[in-house]
Amino acid sequence: MKVIRTVADMGEEALAIIRSSKSYGFVPTMGALHEGHVSLIRRAANENDIVAVSIFVNPTQFNENDDFEKYPRNIEADLALAEEAGADIVFNPEPEDMFSDKRDTLVMPNKLTNHLCGLSRGKGHFIGVCTVVSKLFNIIRPEKAYFGQKDAQQALIIQRMVHDLNFPVKIEICPIIREDDGLALSSRNVRIPENMRHEALSLSRALTHGKALIEDGATNAPEVINAMCEKVIEAGDVEIDYIDIVSTETLEDVAEIDDLVLLAGAIKVGGVRLIDNMLAAPAGK
């Protein structure tokens, strides 16, 4: 596995791969790799001759400096995991190489940021994501890129961006990987205080409950949202950022559930922000 640390070197490598006509997949990450990332890299390795993984903690997508500083970093463990999962290249640039002081261009998604994390983290978060992902696509030049369904809003926004801006890359969305107790894997999980596991699990419990209600015939979205919020509140020391039921295409709030919907939530447990989501449809849909 090659580790490439500059934009210029990655550009040359990408050109050589494209000229070789080998199939070429890409998994963008911010490091602190876990089984969720491993599943993306494995899938990319199964479907492509060459797999590039980026490890770059993107400063432009954090609005709280604190969260950026605290984001877990462990490059040596990440390189070992990426190689074991089947990566051929890890691109691990320095922030100054990715973002010069003179930069003046941003990629701005629009309506899809008016909901869920766009409301709580601000539009700036997704501008940071779209800008860095565009740059990574242009530097790495993959045919396919793999994203996780856990960041459902990010996945939808990236799909929209690729379509709207005609990026020549196919986006593959891969399922959420969970621990045995249901906690969705996230790089932030290592920061959950040990004694707050029950609280952290309240979000997946709430989503599972909401999904079951919908599958059993509940159609009133505000009532299902209330029932999900209760599941979180009964866990105790948890701050709800949002719990919502939205359209899978527009992310707009749904009032009456008569088709496939996205149940999505974000909570804070012991100062750690966790997100999760599930799809649900009424029986027969």
Point out which residues bind ligand PAF (CB under 6 A): 28-30, 58, 61, 129, 132-133, 151, 154
Tokens read off for 16:
């050589």
Instruction: Specify the residue, 150 or 231, whose C-beta has the smaller distance to ligand PAF.
Output: 150
Tell me how far, at minimum, the Cβ of 154 lies from ligand PAF, in Å: 6
Annotated catalytic residue, options 37, 125, 198, 209: 37
Alpha-carbon distance values, 107 to 135, 210, 228 (Å)? 10, 35, 34
**115 is known as an active-site residue:** no
10 or 196: whose CB is closer to ligand PAF?
Answer: 10
Considering only CA atoms, which of 29, 26, 22 is closest in space to residue 52? 26
For residue 262, list its beta bridge partners.
246, 279
What is the smallest separation between the CB atom of 93 and ligand PAF, expressed in angstroms? 12
- Could you give the CA distance from residue 87 to residue 25 in angstroms, rounded to a whole number? 10
Tokens read off for 161: 């961006």
> Residue 54 or residue 204: which is nearer to ligand PAF going by CB?
54
List, in order, residues 6 or more apart from 284 with CB less than 8 Å away. Answer: none
Exposure of 66 by Cβ count < 10 A (0-12 exposed, 13-18 middle, 19+ buried)?
exposed
Buried b (16+ CB within 10 A) or exposed e, 23-33: ebbbbbbbbbb
Residue with smaller CB distance to ligand PAF, 146 or 235: 146
Least Å distance, CB 132 to ligand PAF, is: 5
Work out how close the CB of 27 gets to ligand PAF at its nearest, in angstroms, rounded to a whole number: 9
Minimum Å gap between C-beta 122 and ligand PAF is: 14
Residue among 54, 98, 95, 97 nearest 78 (CA): 54
Q: Specify the 3-state DSSP secondary structure of 150.
A: helix
Give the Cα separation of 62 and 69 in Å (integer). 10
202 contacts 267 by C-beta, under 8 angstroms: yes
Contact, 193 vs 270, CB < 8 A?
Answer: yes
Give the other-Cβ count within 10 Å of 248's Cβ: 14
Cβ closest to ligand PAF, residue 22 vs residue 170: 170
Per the CB < 8 A criterion, the answer to whether 166 and 48 are in contact is no
CB nearer to ligand PAF: pick between 134 and 204: 134
Shortest reach from residue 26's CB to ligand PAF, in Å: 10
Active site residues: 37
